[in-house]
Amino acid sequence: MKLVILDYGAGNIQSIKFAIRRLGYEAILTDEVDEILAADKVIFPGVGEASSAMEKLRSSGLDKIIPKLKQPVLGICLGMQLMCNSSEEGNTDGLGIFDLDVVRFPNSVKVPQIGWNQIEGLRSDLFKGIPEKSHIYLVHSFYAPLGADTIAKSEYALNYSAALQKDNFYGVQFHPEKSSDVGSLILENFLETI
């Protein structure tokens, strides 16, 4: 399998590469359009701030390529948020794959949310073998509300989308590469079942 991790300068790349390697796969880190189009599966990571990350995607032309991809694509954390219509973070226009607008958690809770939380309402092969209320690891100040594309939810002051899916596009707000055995199985499902 040809597995590509999008390289746009906004990722926790090493931990994702190690997690994939533990599953017996190798991934290529690239921003080359031909490599991305030829991939069997694409991982769209993201750590950092939405507007600067989106600017990097625009400067490399990846903002035009990503929404047109036909193979399975997995957005992680900021990667998932950038696949939405917009984000309040930096008043940023997103890629418009998921018809949701990312907003900031209310001031009634500690922001960012850092640590372990539960996911439930699981409805996708991405969660094959994952029990309801499994724990996953998150670090985020902004969230995607619940919507038609929500395939898992979590709660922090309110219920929000912990994972999204539309056609061949998948997104997880949490970090599967840091979510122990549960995260490892979710990555394995993406690589082997999706």
* Residues with catalytic function: 77, 175, 177
DSSP count for the chain of H helices, then E strands = 6, 13
> d(Cα 120, Cα 153) in Å, to the nearest integer?
6
Assigned token pair, 80: 């998932």
Radius of gyration of the chain (CA): 15
What strands, in cross-sheet order, belong to the sheet with 3-6?
27-30, 3-6, 41-44, 73-76, 169-172, 159-166, 150-155
